[in-house]
Structure 1
Amino acid sequence: MRNNLLLIVPDKKEQELLVKRFLGNYNIYIAGNWAEVLHLAETNSIQLIMCSVDVPAVNGWELCRQVKSAAHLCHIPVILLTADDSFRSRIRNLESGADAFVRRPYSLTYLDALASNLLANREKIRAHFAGSRCKPITAANAGEEDSFFKKLHTHIINNMHNCSLNVSLLARLMNMSRAAFYKKMKTVTHLTPNELINKLRLSRAAELLTSADYKVNEVARMTGFHSQSSFAKTFVKRFKVTPTEYRQMRQKTKLPQRPALHLLNNDAALYN
């Protein structure tokens, strides 16, 4: 699947050069101002932005800052293109929240490799939540996502007992529209919010069945399932055994239980 690349480069020759270089591997979109950036990013699921700092009216630093300040867009990597390599310019690049910045004249080969590397890091984040056993997310490679998902995780845990916990409630708690929240979740994790909620519910249920002396119906209630039968059906689908059988198996083998409530910890296997 081809990634969508958004170019914000006012110089036509440079724009044509970048289009020629990246068109073979990316779907290219071109914007000239913040309104166009916002429209294209929200309607085309942009995966990467390359932005010149010398955009008219609103400069590239401000455009980048606005992207990184928008909860539903901040996951998009931004590469700033600049001709100024002064100390002040470097500081502004960092303050804008840019994921990387490249000084003109630049090597297209280097720029291509940089873009691929940023997208590979985002793919690790998606794979983590989708169930891959790749390296876990850390503050060093998660960027804005680290803060976003820590906050999201807290809201899910605090409301896990609530049977009505759903996309709409989480979107309100995250101060986002339902559509923007859903789209961000799918883009970054390849999971719907309900799928993530369900994974955390079942991980917590497995922990309670093993480490605490609760009845199955109590575990079902504590993890937000409407009924014991609904809980059992969902549990069997995930673990291939009933909750009671799972407890018996864990007690028999005496396997150490892994912590189930750390979304950004060193145990990516929890989300398999």
Structure 2
Amino acid sequence: MYREDFSPATLLPVSRAPALGGSTTGPDAVITAAVHTSPRPAAAAVGFGLPFKVKLVCDERQLLRVQALRQLAYGRHLPGQAEAFGSADAQDRTPGTVIFYAEDKASGELVGSVRAQSNRHAPLQIESSIELPPLHQGRQLAEITRLCVRPGYEHQVRLALLKALYLYCIAMQIGGVVAGSRRSLLRTYLSLGFTDLFGDERMCPLQHAGGLPHRVLFRDMLQTDAPVRSWRPQDYEFVYRDFHPDIEVFDSIAAAVSFGLSGRAVPSRPH
């Protein structure tokens, strides 16, 4: 018989254990214990909806849409290099590279995208411009590139894309993430626990980013989150604590594993 079979506040007999060096007052001595049997409340997860969905690029059609968004987004700040950022990029198709995109639910437009490359198959792109400190050499790392958002789209797309990458890196046992940051993104990265890779805030021209100077940042995926909470707690909660069912990281990865970037249609979850 289980505790749940009794009515609330039932008094049950419980045998008294003999005291050390002594005895009970009788062979049938008992004490009574109140058993609290009210049903436990359900612990359902609370999800926070977003006006967009975040998914993994799994076919050429989606990749072409991402390229068009890159050209539009980079063209706003770097008009001279917009075409280069929006053209076909061999890195998009290399092993160890994933691309996430955000799609607005109402309009169906792409509103953001980000790419991550791990060094499992080849060195990181950024290593053509800098040498990683010895502490990070030989570790499984990833590099964030091509983070872009549709101009004028005000929702938390950047944070959602970075959250998708964070979840992906944890699943893939990636111990640290490197990012070359322009000044416009520096505050966002710092709020999520990234620190200066070299510790001296130097600006490094990056070949794969048009030769433009960037701060090189690093995030240890296994470090404590305590310092991050005090910097921008709302960003911390969004990325590391809140549940967002519209960030479809693992559903998309499962589909990509089954179908690959082969031109075949990848089944998606019903909206």
Same-fold status (TM-score > 0.5): no
Structure with higher helix content: 1
TM range (shorter): under 0.3
Structure with higher strand content: 2
Question: Which structure has the higher relative contact order (CA within 8 Å, separation 6+)?
Answer: 2
TM-score, with length taken from structure 2: 0.23
